[in-house]
Amino acid sequence: MAPKENDMMLPIVINNNMARLLVATLGTGLILMFSACSDSAPELITAENSGLQVAEETSENTTDDAAGNFARQPAASSSAPGSTGSSSSPPSGEEQSIPQDPFANSALDLVPPQSRGDSPPPTGSLPARSSAELIEFIEDIEQRVAASDIPGLTHEDQLKSFSQLMRDRLQAAEQVLVQQHSPEQRLKAAHAKLDSLQALMLSTPPGSSANSDDLNALLNYAETLRTDEENNLRLAGTFAKLQALNIVVASGDRGAVAELDELLESLLTSDNPDIRLRAVQQKLSIMSQFIQAQIPGAREKLVEFADSVADDSDPRVVEFARIALLSLAVLDLRTGDADDPTQIVLDLEKILQKVSNAEDVFEIASTATIILLNQGHLREATIVRERVQETFQDHENPQLAAAAVELELRAGLTNFQLQVQSVMGGQVTQEESLLSSAEALLTTGEVGAPKLNVILSAAIDLEYGGHIEVASQIYDWIEKAYQDHEDERLAENATMSVAMGRLRLGMVGQAIELSGKTETGEEFDWNHYAGKVVLVDFWATHCAPCLAEIPNLKRVYEQFHEAGFEVVGVNLDYDAGKAIRFIQKEQLPWVTLLSEEDGSNPNAERYGVQAIPFVALVGRDGKVAALHVRGPELSPKIEEMLGDSLREPPAEDVSGTDDTTSEETRLTAKPERELALP
């Protein structure tokens, strides 16, 4: 049976697993090309991948981890500005103002290892076969790819195997087309050839000579098919050329921009409603890409075109236009170009009245929910979330239905993280509201890994930020919620993390013991510090906040040492040699305890230290008087604890001396999770 017209838009061999493999191997530049041959619109052109003259990008375009936030990295199903797919984590040390998405996967779900130990498919010319045998061979390859049966031990090996499979498929299709065949066999072979050329273009690195050759071959064959006597092949050739031109445009070819625009304009006047719909979608998406790339005039052109089709006789066209305008409004709200969320709610209500393109509508609606939350528009975010759930929770697509239910949890966790940020930023009046949110999250609905990850991380941040009572209450709720969880491993992780948190909090008012070998190889004697005020500093050479505090520690040590103040470092580097070299280079004047040969540190384990920097101040009585005292708070606290024994005025606060880290960053930096959580 001949494929449907709109089936011609898709290379049938590229499934989700294969796409992830290609992206993992070739990098995110591939996503732009892949999307052009899917039901979704092409991906965002950025200033990096567009050769067109664009404005300089700002930090506003950096990746946000919250679900649905805009990302510089292209996303998997974007159709208008503001819609995204997966997001990636920002570089280490980069500030994050948007809460982390607890649902984001840390690794790609790649091709299952059914045949990874097999040898790659043979290369070379195919033996002489009849058209029927060649069609069977083509279908066998398609079935293998559809089942993710791609040989190879690594992503690179699998990609080579995939490329060879596509070349074998291409060769078989070409043989069918030049020998005796039936009309059905010709149709199948022509589609297989076009599809293989698309897949080969996607599986070679953008900009390489091989990619250029595959792209040219695709353009030439697509143009040939556009004049074919078979309607389905004409459609397939048209949309394949549309895909190829979109890729050329992304590379900055100005001539291709005009050719692509001419092709789109011809498709916009088509009598076939599906072709015209595809053209509208493609044009809106390309304009959206230009907006993301900050190409002058792109925004005005998108609004003008969307308005021109807003009253179209095809309701699907109207929906796409409304989605594009809504996406632009969400982007404006996120970037600060607009501050009134009311229009977003009104525009979304119009779209939700009759939904045909469910996936794109849900995506932009869920994006709007998270953006509204991040911008502090809680009322509007709640309205949008409730309407989205009402529309999609019983949807015939089970994945959309599940995502609609999940959106409530995602929004709740995002709001909770924003409350944590407020408390950590000094708004202590928000503590009660924060505790109410934590209790509600842990006592209602399903308690799974996403909740644990977010709320446990928040409790640790609050603890290290000095909000001890708040953190302690959250630890109690975590234990109660997870101690009898059906997932034994999750219950064990929660119980262990709470136990370690209580170890840390329980240090205050208790005597502590330290042991081990120092940087000189000698056994450490804790008794030597009896009767003194001691700062115990758990640190590592890879911990930026730890290193930023060292200049301040040195000056405070020098100022108060003769009055009875000591520092004991507890280094947590796995490589003791690296720590020793750093200590010698920086000429640290105090004793430092090193990790064991296996990289463990009994002192950290004894007191539940899961994140650094971790600082404990021990009084003259040998008991811990305070935790997490650093920066400008350190000197006054030492002065208070030394009391009458002071011989000199307190040291001037020198936080950041000889260090480029800002005071705000030093005081508000979250503890680094350098130690493995249980």
Whether the model clears a pTM of 0.85, i.e. scores above it, the answer is no
**Helix locations, 226-341, DSSP H:** 231-250, 254-268, 273-292, 298-308, 315-335
Residues 631 and 545 in one domain: yes
Q: Strands (DSSP E) along 93-167, which ranges?
A: none
How many other C-beta atoms can be found within 10 angstroms of the C-beta atom of residue 667? 15
Task: Give the DSSP per-residue string, 147-167.
Answer: TT----SSHHHHHHHHHHHHH
**Contact call for residues 519 and 583 (beta carbons, < 8 A):** yes
Sign of torsion, CA 198 200 205 210? Answer: negative
Q: What are phi and psi of 442, to 5 degrees?
A: -90, -10
Domain limit, last residue, from 441, 476, 505: 505
**Contact call for residues 603 and 514 (beta carbons, < 8 A):** yes
Distance CA 302, CA 666 (A): 43
Residues 60 and 148 in one domain: yes
Residues 533 and 499 in one domain: no
Residues 159 and 83 in one domain: yes
Distance CA 474, CA 498 (A): 9
pLDDT digits (tens, 9 = 90+) for 214-248: 888 888 998 899 888 888 888 888 888 887 887 77
> Does residue 357 fall inside a structural domain?
no
Residue 435 C-beta-side C-alpha neighbours within 13 Å: 14
Pairing of strands 533-539, 624-627: unpaired
Closest CA to 464 of 570, 382, 538, 401: 538
Q: Which domain holds residue 609?
A: 526-668
What letter does residue 176 receive in the DSSP assignment? H
Residue range 423-431: mean pLDDT, rounded:
83
Residues 89 and 172 in one domain: yes
Q: Is the pLDDT of residue 334 over 80?
A: yes
Residues 234 and 194 in one domain: yes
Q: Alpha carbon of 638 to those of 152, 375, 550: distances in Å?
A: 61, 40, 16
Residue with tokens 């929660």: 494
Distance CA 154, CA 527 (A): 55
Domain limit, last residue, from 250, 271, 292: 271
Q: Name residue 227's amino acid.
A: T
Cis before 613? omega within 30: yes
pLDDT digits (tens, 9 = 90+) for 61-86: 333 333 332 222 233 333 333 333 33
pLDDT of residue 39: 38
pLDDT digits (tens, 9 = 90+) for 20-60: 444 443 333 333 333 333 333 333 333 333 332 222 333 33
Q: Name residue 67's amino acid.
A: A
The total number of structural domains in the chain stands at 3
pLDDT digits (tens, 9 = 90+) for 102-127: 333 322 222 333 333 344 444 455 56
> Does residue 278 fall inside a structural domain?
no
> Does residue 40 fall inside a structural domain?
yes
Task: Give the DSSP per-residue string, 524-543.
Answer: P-GGGGTTSEEEEEEE-TT-
